[in-house]
Amino acid sequence: MEALIIDPTRTTPLIHLDPDNGRLELSGISRPEDVRTFYYPVLEWISRFADELETSASLYTSDNPLTLNLRFTYFNSSSAKFLFDILSSFNEIHLSGIPVRVNWMYNEEDEDVYEAGKELSEMLEMPFEYMAVP
């Protein structure tokens, strides 16, 4: 499976989904004009990735979990819905027995992004690790 890499713009985040190393990253600002068009390929990629995990699940252990790094500086409410959909997909992977770690990184001075991460975490059944960054 090929990596999905979408370069960031003024209104869209960096998307770097690399199945070879089990590191998945979304970072930056998310307020695309057409949020559905922007995030649909991401959700489609994650669905295919989840299907392929059935044959490679043993690659991920509690010492080497599938890692999702999220570092948003801002996301609008439309993006939040798709972010929840993305996290829900990873929650299903987690519930299937594959260890998943979500690293929620936020600017140490931005309580809004931190709180948004807390709210998303409470709606799911997988733990988040919160990391304040300068």
Write the CATH number for 59: 3.30.750
In this prediction, residue 59 carries a pLDDT of: 83
Query: Strand (E) positions, 1-134?
Result: 4-6, 14-18, 23-30, 66-75, 100-107, 128-133
Secondary structure letter of residue 57 according to DSSP: G
The tally of domains found in the chain comes to 1
Region 68-91 average pLDDT: 96
Tell me the backbone φ, ψ of residue 111, rounded to 5 degrees: -65, -30
- How high is the mean pLDDT of the chain? 93
Closest CA to 26 of 133, 125, 106, 111: 106
- CB hemisphere CA count around 73 (13 angstroms): 9
Query: Strand (E) positions, 76-114?
Result: 100-107
In this prediction, residue 54 carries a pLDDT of: 77
Secondary structure letter of residue 20 according to DSSP: T
- Over residues 5-38, the pLDDT tens digits come to 999 999 999 999 998 887 799 999 999 999 999 9
Domain extent, residue 122, equals: 4-133
- Over residues 114-127, the pLDDT tens digits come to 999 999 999 998 88
pTM equals 0.91
